[in-house]
Structure 1
Amino acid sequence: MDKPNIIEYRVFGRYALFTDPLSKTGGEKCSYQIPTYQALKGITESIYWKPTIMWYIDECRIMNAIRTESKGIRPIKYSGGNDLAYYTYLHNVEYQVKAHFEWNENREDLVYDRNENKHYDIARRMVERGGRRDIFLGVRECQGYVEACSFGEGKSEYDGTDLSFGIMVHGITYPDEAVREDEQGKMTVRLWNAQMKNGIIHFPRPEECGIRQILREAKQKPFMPEQNFRGLQEFEGGGLFGMVQDFG
């Protein structure tokens, strides 16, 4: 690519739940202290995404003090009725995020949609408008809100602070985004040793995570013009904000 194609935004909300999978074995959920790479990638994709591009999260700045709040929840049982569980949420969260996109080299069928200026301009406008789709912080019940910002502006509760959060889930590599040759056609989970330096978390690229495990073989989803992908025609006829459109 000719340009860095970086976007910067702040995302905030009253509650967040970035679930630690180790806490789910008993039917309850407890949040990590910080967002995962995959959660921030999902937020960025809710702002703007096309299968032609892949978002990479570069940095995340923790703005508010890390606080938790437990709630009694009545989840629905598979066998019917309700159970009782306690979910531990993060409370009053705010993050500054810096991300950039690159071409998805696994999508040679969409090479005609590789218009760098188009994708960057749309992504920047979607940040200014609060995202193209609903934003949520880890889980659907935790509504989030996005605003444009300059990364590093303002005061953080963790300026000058270094913290280690131990081994965390980094994310999942799906077959259509696999970069490493040994992960082509497979679904892989990634772990990393999360560190915060001066209030900022610097994320490694997915292919650079040292701890990874292949889960299973999988196929990438096909995108076909005029069936489930419109490419250059997507934003004609009032489709800018994701209106329901007839693909035939």
Structure 2
Amino acid sequence: MRNAIEFKVYGDYALFTDPLTKLGGEKLTYSVPTYQALKGIVESIYWKPTITMVVDKVRVLNPIRMESKGIRPIEYGGGNTLANYTYLKDPCYEVQAHFVFNLHRPEMEYDRNENKHHNILKRSLLAGGRRDIFLGTRECQAYVEPCVFGEEAGFYDNYGDIHLGNMVHGINYPDETGRNQLEVRLWNPVMKNGVIEFIPPEKCPQVRIISDMQPKRFDEHNVQPVDELLAEWEGWNMK
């Protein structure tokens, strides 16, 4: 696929939180990663406002196992609460993704160089990502490395279909849709022999509006020129 990368992501734990379980202050993970969680991983490898990352499919390599832990959430108002979080144990996935240009950002048209972004993306993957990689939540650190999708043996090969029920697909942000509102997408995925093929965000059957939201712009009105930054830096050094 054009502008595509394939990589393996793995760690000790993962927490792809089912939002229905957060109401009582505790968290229970989905059994598989969401589209949005995987998109966040790809964007941690490399991201610029010029492009939009699209996750095509994910392959579950290890058996789905869960482990509960007693966690003390941070309570800024005081307290000594103990919550129960349920994590995925030893998660490991193969992911295939690609990027397209974000046509809702006309101010970034000058930066639409396909080969440049693809080469930087591949180099960033070889380096383990430009930012920290984590599986769902910040405490679940993870690692990424290039792979060939489908080459490694997986636990769910020839397992058949597993219907996963209604899940969160991802979040629609205004800079990616052109609509000045924050939205959540829902869908009903089916894992076939360990592989989940994601439908494109624009084809999700269920979309719910969360709130109004304005996109952040990257133009001369809110981007400071390099020469001005250097002048400020030199001024601080002189003090």
Instruction: Name which of 109, 112, 120 aligns with 1:111.
Output: 109
Instruction: Name which of 147, 154, 165 aligns with 1:156.
Output: 154
Once the two structures are TM-superposed, the CA of residue 214 in structure 1 deviates from its matched residue by: 1.3
Aligned letter for 2:37?
A
CA contact (8 A) 1:223 1:229 kept: no
The corresponding residue for 1:220 is 215
Aligned letter for 2:60?
I
Residues in 1 aligned to 2:151 and 2:80: alpha-carbon distance in whole angstroms: 45
Which aligned pairs between 1:132-151 and structure 2 lie closer than 5 A?
Answer: 132-151=130-149
Aligned letter for 1:46?
S
Which aligned pairs between 1:1-248 and structure 2 lie closer than 5 A?
Answer: 4-161=2-159, 162-178=161-177, 184-224=179-219, 228=223
CA contact (8 A) 1:171 1:189 kept: yes
Once the two structures are TM-superposed, the CA of residue 131 in structure 1 deviates from its matched residue by: 0.5
Aligned pair in 2 of structure 1 residues 156, 21: CA closer, same or farther (>3 Å)?
Answer: same
Uncovered stretches (5+) of structure 1, i.e. residues with no partner: 234-244
What TM-score does the superposition give when structure 1 sets the normalisation length? Answer: 0.88
Q: Structure 1, residues 48-79: CA drift from partner, whole Å, max 9, x if none?
A: 00000000000100000000000001112242
Residues in 2 aligned to 1:64 and 1:200: alpha-carbon distance in whole angstroms: 12
Uncovered stretches (5+) of structure 2, i.e. residues with no partner: 233-239
Larger radius of gyration: 2
Once the two structures are TM-superposed, the CA of residue 132 in structure 1 deviates from its matched residue by: 0.7
Of 111-120 and 211-220, more deviation after overlay is shown by 211-220
CA contact (8 A) 1:227 1:247 kept: no
Q: Structure 1, residues 108-128: CA drift from partner, whole Å, max 9, x if none?
A: 000000000000000011111
Q: May I ask how many residue pairs the two structures share in their alignment?
A: 229
Residues in 2 aligned to 1:247 and 1:224: alpha-carbon distance in whole angstroms: 20
Once the two structures are TM-superposed, the CA of residue 82 in structure 1 deviates from its matched residue by: 2.5
The corresponding residue for 2:235 is none
Q: Percent identity?
A: 55
Residues in 1 aligned to 2:148 and 2:141: alpha-carbon distance in whole angstroms: 22
